[in-house]
Amino acid sequence: MKLRIYPENSIILAPLSGYTDLPYRRSARRFGCKYCFTEMIDAGSLAYGNDKTLRYMQRGAEEEWLGVQLVGSNPDFIERAIAVLNQREFNVLDFNLGCPVPKVAKKEAGAQLGKNIKRAVEVFSLIAEKSKFPVTAKIRILSETDPEPTWELASGLAAAGAQAVTIHGRVMKALYSGPVYTDIIREVSERLPVQVIANGGITNWKNCKELKEKCDCDCVMLARGAMGNPWIFKELSECENYQPPTPEELSDELEKHMNELIEYLGAELAMKAGRKIILDYLKSRGFTGSVKTEVSSLKTAADFEDFMKIVRRGPSDRYRVWLLSNPDADRKLKF
Ligand SMILES: Cc1cc2nc3c(=O)[nH]c(=O)nc-3n(C[C@H](O)[C@H](O)[C@H](O)COP(=O)(O)O)c2cc1C
């Protein structure tokens, strides 16, 4: 029997740097997402009490389940960061061993640390020892052809106390594109005594089902498929019975999400941080280039209100026609 911390068939929203703040998670939760994470928090910044980092830890009163994610490699920073986290309440503390960005790799953290199995396990043991929360890890596969290195890392982490391991089925150098090596995830999952969560490439209920089957994992984590598309959580639970949002529902949710971001960050910062959020909602949904160009000029809450009047005119007629011949398009709208 495997140790499980997520109930069967759980769908987990991935930690996403620059995205999974409180307003983002609230939006996902409105459509049924239960398991959410903060974005990754740098252990050094947390150890030094950086203000922005403190905001990353904010938890909404209504959030029944929230995981926090830590990234780093310096044992001193990690110990101090965990002392700060331990003063709060989280359901899980996840350790990031998958982030490939140079800023993180330079510090021998994230995916770079994951490649150094011995050291990754040493650092993780410290986390398991100091954390008052159950600990988990998020890794990438270490080879596209041989399951052994990934197995060695995952089993080392499990032996050090990981209660679950999420595996993104791409190697570090593939970043976020290319195939997801489901056979590697499957081989590790079959042998690991703790739960494995499969991650990579989910954008609709059909490819989610396929990922679960190919990896033989009942729990999955998704990231980019939820950007500007919180309805995906409804889709993954309703499958063939899912009804996409109407243009009006799209506008309502975009407005709600941005208004919460304004409340959370203040209008000026929200307009800067929210540009990518707005563009995500409009992406692949038939909004013209000129609507999207407007986004870069939004500076105030009033600008956003005016912009929403344009969005509420809906997608182009060409998109409606295009949908007739592409009825299975991801992120589609219903008319
Ligand atoms: C913009 C962006 C930010 C990310 N931030 C994090 C992060 O903070 N922590 C983490 O473990 N993974 C992070 N990831 C990786 C995702 O959690 C996920 O593993 C990856 O995108 C593959 O899943 P997907 O194919 O469903 O997008 C990030 C990915 C992207 C594109």
pLDDT values of the chain reduced to their tens digit, one per residue, 335 residues: 888 999 999 999 999 999 999 999 999 999 999 999 999 999 999 999 888 898 999 999 999 999 999 999 999 999 999 999 999 999 999 999 999 999 999 999 999 999 999 999 999 999 999 999 999 999 999 999 999 999 999 999 999 999 999 999 999 999 999 999 999 999 999 999 999 999 999 999 999 999 999 999 999 999 999 999 999 999 999 999 999 999 999 999 999 999 999 999 999 999 999 999 999 999 999 999 999 999 999 999 999 999 999 999 999 999 999 999 999 999 999 99
> In whole angstroms, what is the distance from residue 64 CA to residue 7 CA?
15
Known catalytic residue: 99? yes
Strand spans (E) along 43-194: 66-71, 92-97, 135-140, 164-168
Count how many residues are written for the chain: 335
Neighbour-count burial for 89-118, b at 16+ CB within 10 Å, e otherwise: ebbbbbbbbbbbeeebbebbbbbbbbbebe
Q: What is the pLDDT of residues 165-211, one digit of tens each?
A: 999 999 999 999 999 999 999 999 999 999 999 999 999 999 999 99
Q: Which domains does the chain have, with CATH numbers?
A: 11-241 (3.20.20.70), 247-319 (1.10.1200)
DSSP string, 223-244: SGGGTT-TTHHHHHHHGGG--P
Predicted pLDDT at 290: 92
Distance 13 CA to ligand 1 centre (A): 10
* Helix, strand, coil percentages, rounded to 5, for the chain: 50, 15, 35
Best of 42, 53, 99, 165 to mutate for ligand 1, by most ligand atoms within 8 A of CB? 99
Question: Which residue, by CA, sits nearest to atom 17 of ligand 1?
Answer: 14
Under a CB-based contact definition with an 8 Å cutoff, are residues 66 and 59 in contact?
Answer: yes
> In whole angstroms, what is the distance from residue 201 CA to residue 180 CA?
7
> In whole angstroms, what is the distance from residue 76 CA to residue 97 CA?
18
Question: Which residue, by CA, sits nearest to atom 4 of ligand 1?
Answer: 16
> In whole angstroms, what is the distance from residue 205 CA to residue 213 CA?
12
Residues 6+ apart with CB under 8 A from 83: 130
Ligand 1 atom, smallest distance to 14 CA: 17
Distance 155 CA to ligand 1 centre (A): 22
Q: What is the pTM of this model?
A: 0.97
Question: Which residue, by CA, sits nearest to atom 2 of ligand 1?
Answer: 16
Question: Which residue, by CA, sits nearest to atom 30 of ligand 1?
Answer: 16
- Using CB distances shorter than 6 Å, the residues near ligand 1 are 14-18, 39-40, 69, 96, 98-99, 138, 168, 176, 199-202, 222-225
Distance 250 CA to ligand 1 centre (A): 24
84, two tokens: 């700060």
Kindly name the residue from 99, 208, 215, 219 that is annotated as catalytic: 99
Distance 321 CA to ligand 1 centre (A): 33
Predicted pLDDT at 335: 92
- Tell me whether strands 92-97 and 135-140 are parallel, antiparallel or unpaired: parallel
Distance 146 CA to ligand 1 centre (A): 23
Neighbour-count burial for 165-192, b at 16+ CB within 10 Å, e otherwise: bbbbbbbbebeeeeebbbebbbbbbeeb
Question: If we measure between CA atoms, which residue out of 202, 196, 201 comes closest to residue 184?
Answer: 196
State CA 297 to chain mean position distance.
Answer: 28
97 phi and psi angles, rounded to 5 deg: -120, 25
311, two tokens: 């969005």
Ligand 1 atom, smallest distance to 166 CA: 19
Distance 322 CA to ligand 1 centre (A): 30
Question: Which residue, by CA, sits nearest to atom 14 of ligand 1?
Answer: 16
Question: Which residue, by CA, sits nearest to atom 29 of ligand 1?
Answer: 16
Ligand 1 atom, smallest distance to 199 CA: 23
Q: What is the pLDDT of residues 18-70, one digit of tens each?
A: 999 999 999 999 999 999 999 999 999 999 988 889 899 999 999 999 999 99
Best of 167, 211, 224 to mutate for ligand 1, by most ligand atoms within 8 A of CB? 224
